[in-house]
């Protein structure tokens, strides 16, 4: 018994060391992402592509046919991304690296450091689980460290799938550092066993899906926020405006407003059914733990409000006159509801789900 307690304490200390170590690596990744944005600049290829798409005639493509060895001149097809009706056909920017070799080098270093920090943080979460011998989601400290781990994991998963999402790296790493900073200073809680109501296999099902949904909603919210900035930038250019040098340096490297809008819509739409399942699983768990499936507890209410918010966003995307910026505002309000459900209810509201006092 004494040996087991000593082992658990050692694992808990190891978990803390790994979490702090991941913060150090995330900090290095943060500076590498900054270097990617600062030292990268738009390449000649990027400027040429923008000029071609903005009105210059596209160069022709010469194709040699198999019949009699003749040649034919074909027009180069335009690659177009669309979101709302009436959206501008604007090319994606070259990315945070600006299309330069130096910028791309720092970007690769940033992604590599982010991946290393993810592995270290994931090891810290696993060590915490081994120390407490349960799912590491029994309090806000454990929930926060797991949430940031999953968010980074989803981001790296998109990169491994070949998706052009490296532009999320800087806001993601910044948010992760803020999240871990809050977790290790204000939310730090010694490892302990669960209260009886939480000691259930539904903890693995309900909370894991909630964490995953939150991570994907976060990526969608970042894309939505950047869409609003990029859309305003494109509007200014379309009306003859002259944005400042800083706005051009940042905005011209991002994907087009249409691409950002499409990305945010796809990730939110893809995870919305899983958020629905999260609420249903929570209701089933509440029936087992408290003898009622729904009691209008604060966490239950705000989970439902979040569901309504994202349902309204998806409906707005399919409604004429509500696509684009109006739908984006609804998506940000829905994510704000999720954040309040995540922090506000757990910390400041007294309910069956709250972790007040952490």
pLDDT per residue as tens digits for the range 172-214: 999 999 999 999 998 887 766 666 667 778 888 898 999 999 9
Which pLDDT belongs to residue 192? Answer: 67
Q: Dihedral angle at the C-alpha atoms of 112, 117, 123, 126, nearest 10 degrees?
A: -120
Return d(Cα 170, Cα 96) in angstroms, integer. 9
Q: How many CA atoms lie within 13 A of 235 on its CB side?
A: 9
Is residue 343 a contact partner of residue 305, using CB atoms and an 8 Å limit? no
* Helix residue spans in the chain (DSSP H): 2-39, 44-53, 101-132, 140-160, 169-185, 202, 208-238, 245-251, 257-290, 298-317, 325-339, 345-348
Q: Which residues contact 272 (CB under 8 A, 6 or more apart)?
A: 310, 311, 314
Q: Compute the residue count for the chain.
A: 358
Token digits of residue 147: 């949430």
pLDDT at 59: 42
β 71-75/60-64 pair status:
antiparallel
Query: Which residues in the chain show pLDDT less than 70?
Result: 1-7, 42-88, 191-197, 351-358
Q: What is the pLDDT of residues 298-346, one digit of tens each?
A: 888 999 999 999 999 999 988 877 888 999 999 999 999 999 998 888 8
How much is the pLDDT for 356?
47
Produce one character per residue of 206-237: b if its CB has 16 or more CB atoms within 10 Å, e if not. bbbbbbbbbbbbbbbbbbbbbbbebbbbbeeb
Q: Are 217 and 335 in contact (CB under 8 A)?
A: yes
Whole-number Cα distances in Å, 256 to 61, 158, 272: 25, 18, 24
Report helix, strand or coil for 67: coil
The whole-angstrom separation of Cα 35 and Cα 256 is 22
Query: Quick one: pLDDT at residue 220?
Result: 95
């Amino acid at each position: 018994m004494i040996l087991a307690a000593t082992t658990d304490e050692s694992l808990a200390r190891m978990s803390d060391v790994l979490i702090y170590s991941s913060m150090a690596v995330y900090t290095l990744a943060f500076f590498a992402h900054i270097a990617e944005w600062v030292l990268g600049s738009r390449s000649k290829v990027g400027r040429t592509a923008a000029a071609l798409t903005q009105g210059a005639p596209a160069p022709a493509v010469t194709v040699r046919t198999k019949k009699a060895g003749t040649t034919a001149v074909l027009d180069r097809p335009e690659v177009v991304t669309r979101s709302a009706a009436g959206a501008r056909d604007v090319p994606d920017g070259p990315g945070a690296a600006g299309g330069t070799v130096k910028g791309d080098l720092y970007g690769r270093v940033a992604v590599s450091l982010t991946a290393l920090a993810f592995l270290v943080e994931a090891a810290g979460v696993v060590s915490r689980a081994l120390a407490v011998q349960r799912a590491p989601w029994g309090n806000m400290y454990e929930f926060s460290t797991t949430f940031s781990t999953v968010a980074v994991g989803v981001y790296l998963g998109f990169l491994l799938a070949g998706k052009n999402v490296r532009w999320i790296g800087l806001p993601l790493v910044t948010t992760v550092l803020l999240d871990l900073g809050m977790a290790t200073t204000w939310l730090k809680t010694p490892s302990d066993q669960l209260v009886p109501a939480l000691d259930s296999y539904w903890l693995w099902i309900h909370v894991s899906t909630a964490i995953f949904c939150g991570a994907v909603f976060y990526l969608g919210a970042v894309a939505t926020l950047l869409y609003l900035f990029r859309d305003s930038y494109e509007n200014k250019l379309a009306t003859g405006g002259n944005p400042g040098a800083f706005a051009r340096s940042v905005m011209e490297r991002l994907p087009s407003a249409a691409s950002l809008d499409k990305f945010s819509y796809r990730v939110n739409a893809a995870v919305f059914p899983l958020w629905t399942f999260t609420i249903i699983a929570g209701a089933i768990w509440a029936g087992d733990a408290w003898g009622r499936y729904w009691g209008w507890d604060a966490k239950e209410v705000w989970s439902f409000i979040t569901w309504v918010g994202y349902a309204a966003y998806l409906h707005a995307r399919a409604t004429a006159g509500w696509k684009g910026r109006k739908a984006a505002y609804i998506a940000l309000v829905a994510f704000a509801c999720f954040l309040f459900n995540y922090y506000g209810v757990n910390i400041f509201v007294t309910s069956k789900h709250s972790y007040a006092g952490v």
